[in-house]
Structure 1
Amino acid sequence: MSNTGSTASAPDPRGAHAVPRLALTAGDPAGIGPDLLIAMARQHGHAQRVAIADPDVLEARARELGEPLRLIHFDPERPRAITPAHTLEILPVPVATPVVAGTLDPANAEHVLALLATAAAGCLDGTFEAMVTGPVHKGVINRAGIAFSGHTEWLAERAGAPMPVMLLATEGLRVALVTTHLPLRAVPDAISADRLEAVTRVLHHDLQRDFGIADPVIAVCGLNPHAGEDGVLGREEIEIITPTLDRLREAGMRLRGPLPADTAFTPRALHGVDAVLAMYHDQGLPVLKHAGFGSAINVTLGLPFIRTSVDHGTALDLAGTGRAEVGSFQAAERLAETLAARAAARRSTPRA
């Protein structure tokens, strides 16, 4: 690692608080996460970027890609400054075993989770305003004997958040999920009135607070084909979904549905809608990713800190090739900056 004693750049003239400090996690070191961090470092950003990664992995990958990369040891006591081009500040987390781009190794599963734990701890103690996460591979973490269903659930447990909500967003479309990483056969049993109400409340609250939408309109999908078709194709809409939505409407929320999922994403149905709430992962996300794959963003709502992420996986076949596309990571960083600025504005606004 080079230039360990240098500062990142001159302090931003707008003042230290105008520079958000973001933790960028590398994800699985065998995937494209290191490539994405290196690609992010190519250009001057608007934040202080702190890579949570193994510096040796980043430097080796940069050499493999033929990219210049300057790493600076992160010092939280140093004045905040926008990170210049071809530079990352780094908070080192060493890998357990040597990394080969494109080849997963369960021996590094603990390293991957240590990246997340380091970033989350920094967000909780105020060192970072937000974390932007690179892609991990759930399968290799589980093969290491660690139960792991995804960032959303893991971060919520770490932060003590009772109801995390996965929201993916792209231009003109936001999709949140009632259930996340479950086998399809487990989905109906997971959709209870309590869970649906809690998820909808978190979504409504965070659309107002984080996205600045004063009175959000949320379209809610049914679970069954044709939203159950009056009970002929399933009774979840009659017994759970509709009564829950009615209670929330009485509380003042503007909710549409339950809607048949096969028409809920048509332009007419989406007109005036701020977010769609889908019942399960593959009900809503294929549409979202078709609309914006490569530029969409994953946001975890319901956490006590800001977390955004890429909308894709580790792309092992692209690791170390120079062909990884950085658009989703860039969009995730931009949204993290925006949400951090809104949070700072809320903190600085005197309460009545």
Structure 2
Amino acid sequence: MQPSCRRWPSPGKPGLFLGTISKNALPFSTNIIYVVERNWSSKLFMSSILQEEIMHRVTRILRPPFYLLLMAFLFCAGMPDALAGDTIRINGSGTCLEMMKPLMKAYGKVSRGVSFNMEKPLGSSGAIKALLDGALDIAVVARPLKPEEIARGGKLKPFGKTPLVIVTEKRTPLKTITTRELEDVYAGRTLKWSNGETIRIILRPNEETDTKILKHLSPGMAEAITKAHQRRGLMIAMTDPESIEAVSRIAGGIGTSTLTHVLVGKLPLKVIDLNGVKPSRKTLKDGAYPLAKEISFVTTDRLPNAASRFLEFVYSKKGRAITEKYGVLITIDGK
């Protein structure tokens, strides 16, 4: 029988975890309790003192055939370097993380020893900070690095871009919108859709990339967004997932997303043509569609070998083909 290992946070001891091996799995009269500590790289290490004590107790009781069970226990508990380089820690903007999902799935099929740790999106700025602090291996971002981030060791490598799209709630009676009509919506000059439904704008914070991109559509759009932020009662979504979730569930909702996010997430949203142009890789490439969100990778000199090999896959022919399927126009050189 293989050891049954369990872990849970130690009360009042942040970063410490307690665990047991089931007494039914080993020939002991009581469970063995061990303590492990989680470090910044999310690896688990057993106290060397406890390892020595447990080894002493086990070797007094177990015969040689049972050493295999002991090794299984120590591996489950977190022997040093047992998981080294196997877990790749990634975060970034919501759109960028959506692009990573099919890439990670495909890579997992050819590199079964690798796992990924990708929590809720921190945003470009939050992920870069976490990377520079040593809490991440890779940041996937939608903006250039700031001088101070470069000074701290951040290295940016462009990958591609995807159309920033205008999205509405599914039942909204809208297929295309002109720049002037969009200006009127955000400025509050147009308050209802053609079916009488109240227009409900889901804004992003002023400093967010989506807002900056949309403001560059036209001088009138920049002014309209500024006015929208001054109006009372409008919702401001802090992250990409919060924004599209709000648009999809609020009747009459309108906001922004990216083509990649919509395609990967299979979201219940309506993607609106802009000035009669459908957002796509093709229209983005030929310049017909004006709104684009950049996608780049940021690393440091501390990049683990496992993360480096994964990025090689992302930039490979197979990796590029996967992202192109989900609306990413590969640029590589940043142009």
Normalization by structure 1: what TM-score? 0.23
Task: Answer 1 or 2: which has greater strand percent.
Answer: 2
